[in-house]
Amino acid sequence: MISKNVLVTGGAGYIGSHACKALKAAGYTPIAYDNCSTGWEEAVKFGPLVKADLMDQAALKETFERYQPIAIMHFAALSQVGESMQEPGRYWRENVTGALNLVEAAVEAKCFNFVFSSTCATYGDQDNVVLDEDSVQLPINAYGASKKAIEGILQDFGTANGLRHMIFRYFNVAGADPDAEVGEFHQPETHLIPLMLDAVDGKRDALTIFGTDYDTADGTCIRDYVHVCDLVDAHVLGLKWLLDGKGNRIFNLGTGDGFSVREVINHSRAITNREVPYVEGARRAGDCTKLVSGSNRAVSELGWEPKRSNLHAMISDAWRWHQNVANHYKK
């Protein structure tokens, strides 16, 4: 019997756990590989968990031998822009070396289908343009630079060893599983929507708006948001693309539009029927005014349909999950 196992690194994390659910629904068995430093064992509901680190080459080898996956979805990474500017060595070491270990283990095991969760941070600070896959990559922090380096690793191993790869670049992921089986829960939390909902729910005193003097209509920066379920749907489509024998490809995932911080706050009021307590703070280093990623190529070539990537669905689904999150994940 041909294996339908897919190794999902970071499978206990926010995006990875949603990917595991989508893979299970599509007929695959997701094997979550996660050290659970930021992920949650409770989020692993759709297949087995291998609790191990990408720096552990022996554990990787054993995992490939035991489960014989037909493909990899690689989500595991350090991902905080601010932290990467303060601790660049950690990001280069863990993100790049971890990915290299994974790729080498995959090639040794003859697992040649690799779906990679990259980022539009590889494009750097290119304000007020809709970024596409051909935009120049000029990362301005170690997070974006480390992801760009991993893209290079995949391309080099593709040339040398025939590794087939699908690369997805995207910015802000939001929302939660509409069934509230899994959702977004970080400690510490850094993402706008869960921070906002914490403030709404009294779990923190106030949301901080970092910068109110940007050159936008309301002075706050603008970001492109993609619903996590739409995002992982694209990853499943990317997996099928590779398994069908199609070539290596890079896709941006976004709406082509963006929302300002104040727009997100205002929309939250309509959904939760509660005010959002907030304070205004200074800009953060590394933040730019407007980052928007188009996805015309993903729509036309992959047949991707971002059905829930609107503020109402993203905040509503996140709020539904948020109201029960304390009962879901515990360290």
Q: Is 149 left (phi over 0), alpha (psi -120 to 50) or beta?
A: alpha
| Dihedral sign of CA atoms 303, 115, 290, 134 in order | negative
List the alpha helices (DSSP H) in the chain.
14-25, 57-67, 81-86, 88-91, 98-108, 142-161, 192-200, 228-243, 261-272, 296-297, 311-322
Active site residues: 143
Give the pairing type, strands 222-223 and 278-281. unpaired
Classify the phi-psi angles of 310: left when phi > 0, otherwise alpha if psi is within -120 to 50, otherwise beta.
Answer: beta
Domain boundaries defined on the chain = 5-174+224-253, 192-223+256-327
The pair of structure tokens assigned to 232 is: 């992982």
pLDDT tens sequence for the chain (331 residues): 567 999 999 999 999 999 999 999 999 999 999 999 988 999 999 999 999 999 999 999 999 999 999 999 999 998 887 788 889 999 999 999 999 999 999 999 999 999 999 999 999 877 778 899 999 999 988 999 999 999 999 999 999 999 999 999 998 999 999 999 999 887 778 889 999 999 998 889 999 999 999 999 999 999 999 999 999 999 999 999 999 999 999 999 999 889 999 999 999 999 999 999 999 999 987 677 888 888 999 999 999 999 999 999 999 999 999 887 755 665 4
CB atoms closer than 10 angstroms to residue 326:
11
d(Cα 117, Cα 2) in Å, to the nearest integer? 26
CA dihedral 308, 312, 316, 319 (to 10 degrees): 120
154 touches 165 (CB < 8 A): yes
Neighbouring C-beta atoms of residue 129, cutoff 10 Å: 12
φ and ψ of 244, to 5 deg: -80, 0
CATH number assigned to the domain covering 192-223+256-327:
3.90.25.10
Contacts of residue 104, Cβ cutoff 8 Å, sequence gap at least 6: 57
Amino acid occupying residue 73: M
Topology given in CATH for the domain delimited by 5-174+224-253: Rossmann fold (3.40.50)
Instruction: Enter the tokens of residue 130.
Output: 């809709």
- 15: CB partners within 8 A, 6+ apart: 75, 117, 173, 228, 231, 232
pLDDT at residue number 212: 96
Q: Give the contacts of 270 (CB within 8 A, at least 6 positions apart).
A: none
Instruction: Work out whether the CA dihedral 255, 234, 52, 142 comes out positive or negative.
Output: negative
